[in-house]
Amino acid sequence: MPEIRVTPLGAGQDVGRSCILVSIAGKNVMLDCGMHMGFNDDRRFPDFSYITQNGRLTDFLDCVIISHFHLDHCGALPYFSEMVGYDGPIYMTHPTQAICPILLEDYRKIAVDKKGEANFFTSQMIKDCMKKVVAVHLHQTVQVDDELEIKAYYAGHVLGAAMFQIKVGSESVVYTGDYNMTPDRHLGAAWIDKCRPNLLITESTYATTIRDSKRCRERDFLKKVHETVERGGKVAAAGLGRGPFWEAWLPLAWGRVVGVTWLSPRMNLKVPIYFSTGLTEKANHYYKLFIPWTNQKIRKTFVQRNMFEFKHIKAFDRAFADNPGPMVVFATPGMLHAGQSLQIFRKWAGNEKNMVIMPGYCVQGTVGHKILSGQRKLEMEGRQVLEVKMQVEYMSFSAHADAKGIMQLVGQAEPESVLLVHGEAKKMEFLKQKIEQELRVSCYMPANGETVTLPTSLSIPVGISLGLLKREMAQGLLPEAKKPRLLHGTLIMKDSNFRLVSSEQALKELGLAEHQLRFTCRVHLHDTRKEQETALRVYSHLKSILKDHCVQHLPDGSVTVESILIQAAAPSEDPGTKVLLVSWTYQDEELGSFLTSLLKKGLPQAPS
């Protein structure tokens, strides 16, 4: 029995360190290779020794696929390819390929330069690793080898985020990575065709949430800013991502910048808006490079008007934080544990007019987490106590699909079964129940290291000759085309492919002469009359029963029904019985056996 095996090395009932092993029809594929932001020890990377105890990863894995550039999806890539050792192909989209090394380098800098970690991958390793990357286009079918093929679909989570279909023969798996079903200011919605995979591996971060419309969320955000600014307060919109690194800066930053610049004049927001240095320039650069990956609006209008020019946004300088009057600053990192955002926070925390907006959830132990949980007195380094008087707001701007979105995608792809990753166990439980109830699709949610085995029904494609197909089609009624139908033909297996041809052609191809295969059968009849008479009686009997068939009485005394020959003979030993010789070819087996059974019952008594 063929099967698909899935083992999450990370992201099983968890968010972070996405890494999923899939074995499909003898091929092994690794989906994503991320790091975990909650750990600083060995646990931050997936345990690659699970894949192979000894021996090279390259021999075991056919390919690695990276869905998008967030570090929890690609953070362990240099470690995996250079330090553990993998030389096979790594597939990702073009934007991911462009942005991924920047984030990896950033991650490396913080880990090595700031935290002083040893035995971390080097810049050179990142470069070497990126050399193994094969970039793919959307909807491009890439043949990894003769049997394994992959195809990318638009996911809308961040610039270049993609969902991947992995296909071997007739078996296929779709891995969504992270995706977003509602378009935002810069990216479109995820889309997949009705590819009916055997398994759909989907993220489930927001499995238990149905979100308000995006316009409401946008307005809500701006209203919060507005109110603070009217009070004369300053707004720090901290962090542009969830992680400790500014990993998610680009798309989220972008969405918000576009949203803010677009809406602020409409909402009468007339205060300076600052942005962490360098961010807008970089965002501009990549968005201009990858216009096709953005949404309809940007695609349509970028020729006439440059969405990437911000009249209202200025680069932030440290000195600006002390300027009087209201202002809005977008600063990093998001969890307020270091860097610019923390500095600003410390400056502004004392004033109750000010506000800080936290856009994502924060890891325990960070300042962000503390203030979000309502702590008002913070102990900073140097035993300072910082009293937080400013308002703290939480805004969900995350570019993940909500419960409805997930269901919608599952509905679009129509998989045989669904596997949930990248979410919390409790939330998955709910979604799993819903999927099974409403879509009637089996659903799995393995923990890390747990293997799900999925039996698949193996379908073997068989080529059929056109002539045969047409001949058979001509016999049947057309509209009921989806019903299974009986078909006569010869199956030829040659060089591990199968063909169904008509028997004549099969004989010709194989160079064989046709053998006549006849079945003969003797039927004893109690009949005292002469052979001819018996034959005549048989003829009239059959004629009366088999009205649809051609029954003939030949001059030599034999009877034929279609091609079946019946002869009457008188065995010498017993004049009271006649022997009927019934002979038919194997093609007429059905009719022949029917006839014999009929004749065995005897002839009706002649009305003599």
Partner 1 sequence: AKLHLKKIKKKRENFRSYFLYPSQQQQEEIATKKLRLTKPSKSAALHIDLCKATSPADALQYLLQFARKPVEAESVEGVVRILLEHYYKENDPSVRLKIASLLGLLSKTTGFSPDCIMDDAINILQNEKSHQVLAQLLDTLLAIGTKLPENQAIQMRLVDVACKHLTDTSHGVRNKCLQLLGNLGSLEKTVTKDAEGLATRDVQKIIGDYFSDQDPRVRTAAIKAMLQLHERGLKLHQTIYNQACKLLSDDYEQVRSAAVQLIWVVSQLYPESIVPIPSSNEEIRLVDDAFGKICHMVSDGSWVVRVQAAKLLGSMEQVSSHFLEQTLDKKLMSDLRRKRTAHERAKELYSSGEFSSGRKWGDDAPKEEVDTGAVNLIESGACGAFVHGLEDEMYEVRIAAVEALCMLAQSSPSFAEKCLDFLVDMFNDEIEEVRLQSIHTMRKISNNITLREDQLDTVLAVLEDSSRDIREALHELLCCTNVSTKEGIHLALVELLKNLTKYPTDRDSIWKCLKFLGSRHPTLVLPLVPELLSTHPFFDTAEPDMDDPAYIAVLVLIFNAAKTCPTMPALFSDHTFRHYAYLRDSLSHLVPALRLPGRKLVSSAVSSTIISQEDPSQQFLQQSLERVYSLQHLDPQGAQELLEFTIRDLQRLGELQSELAGVADFSATYLRCQLLLIKALQEKLWNVAAPLYLKQSDLASAAAKQIMEETYKMEFMYSGVENKQVVIIHHMRLQAKALQLIVTARTTRGCGMFLSKMYFITDLPHLQDSFVDKLLDLMPRLMTSKPAEVVKILQTMLRQSAFLHLPLPEQIHKASATIIEPAGESDNPLRFTSGLVVSLDVDATLEHVQDPQNTVKVQVLYPDGQAQMIHPKPADFRNPGPGRHRLITQVYLSHTAWTEPCQVEVRLLLSYNSSARIPKCPWMEGGEVSPQVETSIEGTIPFSKPVKVYIMPKPARR
Least distance in Å: CB of 182 to partner 1? Answer: 6
User: Is 427 one of the binding residues for partner 1 (CB under 8 A)?
Assistant: yes
User: Is 369 one of the binding residues for partner 1 (CB under 8 A)?
Assistant: no
Closer residue to partner 1 (CB): 337 or 434: 434
DSSP structural state of residue 335: T
Closer residue to partner 1 (CB): 147 or 220: 220
Q: How far apart are CA 37 and CA 44, in angstroms?
A: 7
User: Is 408 one of the binding residues for partner 1 (CB under 8 A)?
Assistant: yes
Of 120, 191, 361, 594, the residue at the interface with partner 1 (CB under 8 A) is: 191
For the chain, the maximum distance between any two Cα atoms, rounded to a whole number of angstroms, is 130
466-485 residues in contact with partner 1 (CB under 8 A) are 470, 473-474, 477-482
Contact 400, 409 (CB under 8 A): no
Q: How far apart are CA 228 and CA 327, in angstroms?
A: 9
Contact 201, 7 (CB under 8 A): no
Least distance in Å: CB of 478 to partner 1? Answer: 5
Least distance in Å: CB of 541 to partner 1? Answer: 38
Least distance in Å: CB of 392 to partner 1? Answer: 9
User: Is 192 one of the binding residues for partner 1 (CB under 8 A)?
Assistant: yes
Closer residue to partner 1 (CB): 268 or 528: 268
Contacts of 509 (CB under 8 A, 6+ apart): 492, 501
Which tokens hold the place of 350? Answer: 């004392």
**Which residue of the set 105, 147, 171, 203 is catalytic?**
203
Least distance in Å: CB of 247 to partner 1? Answer: 24
Q: How far apart are CA 186 and CA 254, in angstroms?
A: 7
Q: How far apart are CA 18 and CA 2, in angstroms?
A: 26
Contact 249, 332 (CB under 8 A): yes
User: Is 404 one of the binding residues for partner 1 (CB under 8 A)?
Assistant: yes
User: Is 423 one of the binding residues for partner 1 (CB under 8 A)?
Assistant: no
Backbone phi and psi for residue 143, each to the nearest 5 degrees, phi listed first = -85, 110
DSSP structural state of residue 451: P
Which runs of E-coded beta strand occur in 431-535?
A: 442-444, 452-455, 462-464, 490-494, 497-501, 518-526
What is the bridge-based pairing of β-strands 234-238 and 355-358?
A: parallel
Closer residue to partner 1 (CB): 224 or 346: 224
288-347 residues in contact with partner 1 (CB under 8 A) are 295-297, 300
Stretch of 158-166, 178-186, 549-557, 577-585 contacting partner 1, by CB under 8 A: 178-186
Catalytic residue check, 203 = yes
213-272 residues in contact with partner 1 (CB under 8 A) are 213-220, 227, 262-263, 265-268
Contacts of 103 (CB under 8 A, 6+ apart): 69, 70, 71, 74, 245, 247
Closest to 86 (Cα-Cα) out of 77, 75, 74: 77
The contact set with partner 1 (CB under 8 A) reads 182-183, 185, 188-189, 191-194, 208-220, 227, 262-263, 265-268, 295-297, 300, 403-404, 407-408, 411-412, 427, 430, 433-434, 438-439, 470, 473-474, 477-482
Active site residues: 203
